[in-house]
Every structure is written in structure tokens, then in C-alpha cells.
Amino acid sequence: MATHFTDQNFKKDVLEHKGVALVDFFAEWCGPCRMMAPIIDELATQYSGKAVIGKVNVDDAPATAGTYGVRSIPTIILFKDGEAMETKVGAVSKKDLDDMIKRYL
């Protein structure tokens, strides 16, 4: 299962993480976000111990979403050693996300 990030734990769990962290910015009411949820969970299982894979609910963590300019959801940002490296907006395939993670591992 994907980790749930909040305004309170984002710095420690993503920005201070050494290595790859993939973050899905979503909302419960967003149809494409619901389509992405099982993919994010699958990637979390697949990369357990290799990368941190998680989600930020933009309704519950507006400060974090605002910091990264999230205006459309889903927005997926890949971080490496706390630095945002790549961003995908909209529903994307598992293969696209898998390829993105592999580029930074």
C-alpha cells in the first residue's frame, strides 16, 4: 500500500528521504485519481525497500500541494534525494511511471 503523506510528514518522509520518492497528488472526488490509485498501490508494493511511493490528498494537505504548484490532479512528482526531478499531470500508465522510477533508481 502507498504511504499517505500530509503537510506534517512530507518534509521528513519525502524531502529528507535519500533516494527515490514518487508522490501522487490526488483528491477523493477526482475520477482519474481513482483510476490511478491501484497503480500507485501496485508500484508501492513493487518498489518496497527501493523507493518510497505515496499519495498526498490535496484537500487535506493544501500547503504541500501549493508548494509544488499542483493545479490539476492527478499530478505525480518524482523526487530524488528531496529534489523534484520529473512531473506527470493526468492519468498515466503504470509502464510510464515504472520507467520514470527506473531512471532514477
Per-position DSSP letters for 1-25, written without gaps between them: -PEEE-TTTHIIIIIT-SSEEEEEE
Please report the domains of the chain, with CATH numbers, ordered by start residue: 3-104 (3.40.30.10)
Q: Is 35's pLDDT higher than 90? A: yes
pLDDT value of residue 1: 87
Q: Name the β-bridge partners of 76.
A: 24, 88
Active site residues: 30, 33
Q: What does pTM read for this prediction?
A: 0.95
What letter would DSSP give residue 72? S
**Percent residues over pLDDT 70 in the chain:** 100
